[in-house]
Structure 1
Amino acid sequence: MLSLNEIKKPIAAEIDVFEEKFKASMQSSVPLLDRITHYIVKRKGKQIRPMFVFFAASLCGGINESTYRGAALVELVHTASLVHDDVVDNSYQRRGFFSINALWKNKIAVLVGDYLLTKGMLLSLDHNDFDLLKILSNAVKQMSEGELLQVEKARKTNTDEGIYYEVIRQKTASLIASCCASGASSAGADAETIEKMRLFGEKIGIAFQIKDDMFDFGTDDVGKPLGIDIKEKKVTLPLIYALNKVSSSERKRIISLVKNHKDDPEKIGQIITFVKQNGGLQYAESQMQKFQNDAFDILNTFPPGEARTGLEQLVRYTTERNK
């Protein structure tokens, strides 16, 4: 599999320009905010989402100034959601570093997340990028609904596969879908093409989340602690499939373990073993592959070229990664 640096070579110059524009988009006259946003920028992630924006724009007409603003809006929304998520989850680490709430406490972290969201909105409004703002505002709405739906279903230990897909479609896939739609929109694509790219991104987002959920049942060298979803009582696809394959009594036993494990490594280990023995990981892998193939079917309706190849490679990176 190609590295991320190899994949982004066709848009490397644009990503470099974007990083400077993104940094400038977060500037504030408040020294505390500037210190915090500087901390965020220095510990930025892989920037997969901006890459989707740039490749989509390149595929649908070409990269322009609106594309840079679209990518900055996406990244501001994504960063704000991560800051807020860490507060909600009482998480004190993000990508191996202290989270904002760990260093500056919850109140400041919430306000920083709000600030980033507002900066993204103003960036769009100041340049009349109303279509981009509408695409991302809809994504934020869906992300919030997805989180709340997951909380509600976690309380009931829901084992409905359809509900699972609805949660991850809203919570995770909506933002990647908005990346692809924003890129197409910034390039001046028509409504049909924008929707096609949005659907492509949604399929990838679902495949991405299924892959992420599978890590919970793997070894502990993949960058995600073993059983973290189980500890949070999240019922993901591998577990849902395994639960629906066994007898009612066995299902009740495992659900009881999920609800009452109290972070006991032995009980969490029993749940992981149960999922592996009942084909949960194999099923999740097959479903992830299905969504990836659906995305490639959409992508292949576009003319071949560097941008289409870049998107295909980026998709493979997100679904074939080891962490």
Structure 2
Amino acid sequence: MIDASVFTSNRSSEPSSRERSLPTTLDAIRAPVADELDAFRPYFREAMESDHFLLDKITQYVLRQKGKRIRPLLVLLSAKVCGEVNEMSYRAAALVELLHTATLVHDDVVDDADTRRGMFSINALWKNKIAVLMGDFLLSRGLLLSLDHNDYTVLHALSDAVRRMSEGELLQIEKARFLNIDEKTYFRIISDKTASLISACTTSGALSVTNDEEIIERMRTYGEKLGLAFQIRDDLFDFGAVDAGKPVGIDMQEKKMTLPLIHALEQSSKSERKAVMKHVRTDDKSAEDMQAIATFAKEHGGIAYARERMEALATEAYELAEAFPPSEARDALLGLTQFTIQRKR
């Protein structure tokens, strides 16, 4: 576990993160945009409205699924760091949440998942065909929300993220068949699957309030670095490397090669690799199989290496955010960066 002292910057004469407190809980991180988040919710609800009975029924069910709303939070914080939150900022936050919700609905179909956020998934209640169509409806509503208001730059950023997410998922599926992923490919996958949407959130927030290309690029890069660190934290959960409060070994069961295992394989002998890959290739892994993989990753430095890469990426993200003028919103982004790699789930 790292603390705030890891994140230091010499770019300004203001007190460093070691000399001032930053928000460390999601409630505290939300505080600078609490009013804006309240204003955002009607945009999201209205964007999902339909006079079709079944669509409206499913929409109301989706709205009852309480997520953390991290992505709209990122949009609004980024907008406030770069300028003044406005109507375009709210539409960008709604578009992000619509696209994200649509991808979750489609993911549940692909994964044959029965639950989502502690509730039955759409496909579990209304079957796959309706779930796919519901996801398509949400995507179309998001697109129309931007097109109707000529928010082309935001729409481009989010559309590119959806493209990258699809490509990353397909590449991961392809590599899972042959188990031949290296570190470079791993980072390409998580950049596309995870970091692309987080980066699109921070980019969209900036785009909604400024035309300054340097500011927009800095915020885009911040989101990319944050997203990479976020995903490595998730990968560490799978190895039981942190108390995640969630089942471990999900990625192992699906034969997803993540950074702890990739690095450990690179550091091991041929005979050691052969032995552990027998466990990796097993279709229905036992608890013993998963423990053997986790132990191998730890003993060959994979866990420690993944932590180092995660913390290095978070440091880069922190320094990018710290370069913005001091404000409560800027400090909330700094706090969110720390929270991302310290979270328990």
Q: TM-score range by the shorter chain?
A: over 0.9
Matched, 1:24 2:30: no
CA shift, 1:14, in A, is 0.7
SS at match of 1:282: helix
Q: Which amino acid aligns with 1:111?
A: L
The residue number in structure 1 matching 2:76 is 54
* TM superposition outliers: structure 1 runs of 4+ over 6 Å: none
- Structure 1 range deviating more: 291-300 or 225-234: 291-300
1:256 to 254, 257, 278: 278
How far apart are the structure 2 equivalents of 1:92 and 1:260?
A: 24
Task: Pick from 73, 90, 96 the counterpart of residue 118 of structure 2.
Answer: 96
Give me the whole-angstrom Cα distance separating, in 2, the residues matched to 1:168 and 1:192. 25
CA contact (8 A) 2:179 2:255 kept: yes
Q: What letter is aligned with 1:117? A: L
* Distance (Å, rounded) in 2 between the aligned partners of 1:122 and 1:44: 24
Q: Given the alignment of the two structures, is residue 119 of structure 1 paired with residue 113 of structure 2, yes or no? A: no
Moved more, 259-268 or 38-47: 259-268
Task: Report if aligned partners of 1:200, 1:299 keep a CA contact under 8 Å in 2.
Answer: yes
1:32-43 to 2 correspondences below 5 Å: 32-43=54-65
Rounded Cα–Cα distance in structure 2 between residues aligned with 1:35 and 1:128 = 30
For each residue in 1:256-303, what CA deviation from the matched residue of structure 2 results, as whole angstroms up to 9, or x when unmatched? Answer: 211115132221221112112222211111100010011122112211
Aligned to 2:18: none
Residue 267 of structure 2 aligns to a residue whose secondary structure is: coil
- Rounded to whole Å, the distance in 2 between the matches of 1:293 and 1:151 is 30
SS at match of 1:91: coil
State the Cα distance separating 1:188 from its structure 2 match. 2.1
Contact 1:91 1:99 in 2 (8 A): yes
The alpha-carbon deviation at position 221 of structure 1 amounts to: 5.7
Provide the residue aligned with 1:170 in structure 2: 192
Is the contact between residue 150 and residue 167 of structure 1 (CA under 8 Å) also seen in structure 2?
Answer: yes
Alpha-carbon distance in structure 2 between the residues aligned to 1:26 and 1:278: 49
* Contact persistence 1:7–1:314 (CA under 8 A): yes
Q: Let me know the Cα RMSD of the aligned residues.
A: 1.4
With normalisation by structure 2, the TM-score equals: 0.91
Number of residues paired by the alignment? Answer: 323
TM-score (structure 1 length as normaliser): 0.97
Correspondence for 1:226 among 248, 254, 271: 248
**Which one is further off, 66-75 or 192-201?**
192-201
Q: Which residue of 1 aligns with 2:216?
A: 194
**Which consecutive residues of structure 2, in runs of 5 or more, have no partner in the other structure?**
1-22
Give 1:219 shift: 7.0
* Structure-to-structure mapping, 1:291-310, within 5 angstroms: 291-310=313-332
- Identity in percent: 54
- Please point out which of 203, 215, 227 is paired with 2:225: 203
Is 1:278 the counterpart of 2:300? The answer is yes
Preserved contact between residue 173 and residue 204 of structure 1 (Cα < 8 Å) = yes
Name the aligned partner's letter for residue 137 of structure 2: Y
Question: Which residue of structure 2 lines up, in the alignment, with residue 135 of structure 1?
Answer: 157
Aligned to 1:85: 107
Post-superposition CA distance 1:20-44 (Å, at most 9, x none): 2111110111111111111111113
